[in-house]
Amino acid sequence: MTVTFDPFLHEYSDENGNLIPSVTQLLAKHQLSPDYSHVSKTLLNQSAENGTKRHFAFEIAIESGGYDDEEDPCVTEFLEKYYPAYENWQSETMVYYDGTIRYAGTIDLICYNPKADRWLIGDIKTTSSVHKESVAWQLSLYKKAWCFLHLVPEENVDLFCLHARESLKWIDIEAIPQTDINDLFESESAGLPYVRDTAMILKPGTEALALEYESRMVELKKASEEIKAVYDKLKEALYEQMLERNITTLDTPRMKISLTRPYKKSSFDSKGMQKDHPELYKAYVTESEVKGNVKISLKEKA
């Protein structure tokens, strides 16, 4: 069977023009992949664009034999840490399966471990977290198709995921049991939904919630830190000028600036008091309501 892929329509088809379901479509149909339907299209598109750019950087690095054209930090780490350890690296490899059911897909990464005499099939994820069970289904179907085409025993192939975010993380993935894959194939052949013990749809508040807010919050967080750095630098320069000129107060139409000279400050050691005199400490402790909030810190330098 000859399979072609239309990059504009993101569709696979055979030599007769018949559409072939992709692995992504198959998993979504049976709710074996995260559900992002409640995330705005703008954020999804932006996330997809960023992911495509990083995938392309990995592809260039592999196809060029280890050249980091984009100077992507995750790609650089990959080339230094993992690329030399394996052989026969391949990227964007299209595969199809034409057994019990038909499907096609494109594998992000394939390599060979000469020491263990084993092949490895991997996927690159750029989302804020990795849904391991969904990735396991995806890679297990890729493995079945690749082994089907190359006559390689499935037990000789391992699975992994590269989580390429601020830094790179290699995650070993355990394959889905063959019995579960057979159940999925039977359900697909019969036109029935695949019944599982656990739901694969992400609960609101996990990956989807992070994706919904991440892009804008990171942008604002970086901007606020940059503004604060400039503001603090100006304050420090103003302090030095007022101290040098012995000026204690400046009045402008929009501000009043007062100089505070260095001084010694006394503080109360509440922890020491609590440790040495717990009963006395308890007698003077008062409780008050504190408004809840979220603490946001960037994993990458602004």
Residuewise pLDDT in 10s, the chain (302 residues): 788 998 888 899 998 899 999 999 999 999 888 777 666 677 667 777 788 888 999 999 999 888 876 678 899 999 999 999 999 999 999 999 998 899 999 999 999 999 999 999 999 998 878 888 899 999 999 999 999 999 999 999 999 999 998 889 999 999 999 999 999 999 999 998 887 654 444 444 455 566 656 666 776 777 788 888 888 898 899 989 988 999 988 888 888 989 888 888 888 888 888 899 988 888 888 888 877 666 766 665 43
Sign for the pseudo-dihedral over CA of 171, 172, 178, 179: negative
With respect to residue 274, please indicate whether it lies within any of the assigned structural domains.
Answer: no
- The Cα 209–Cα 204 span in angstroms is 6
Q: Which residues of 183-212 are buried (b: 16+ CB within 10 A; e: fewer)?
A: ebbebbeeeeebeeeeebebeeeebbeebb
What is the structure's pLDDT at 12?
94
Structure tokens at 272: 């020491």
Looking at the structure, tell me whether residues 241 and 194 fall in a common domain: no
Same domain assignment for residues 154 and 187: yes
157-164 sheet: strands from edge to edge: 87-98, 102-113, 118-125, 157-164, 168-173
Same domain flag for 169 and 81: yes
pLDDT of residue 291: 77
Tell me, yes or no, whether 114 and 253 share the same domain: no
Residue 191 and residue 207 in one domain: no
Tell me the residue range of the domain where 102 lies. 4-201
pTM: 0.65
Do 109 and 66 have their domain in common? yes
**pLDDT (0 to 100) of residue 96:** 94
101 and 215 part of one domain: no
Domain shared by 222 and 180, yes or no: no
Does residue 240 lie in a domain region?
Answer: yes
The tokens for 75 are 């790609």
Count of structural domains within the chain: 2
Q: Residue 150 and residue 127: Cα distance in Å, rounded? A: 31
Can you give the pLDDT at residue 42? 75
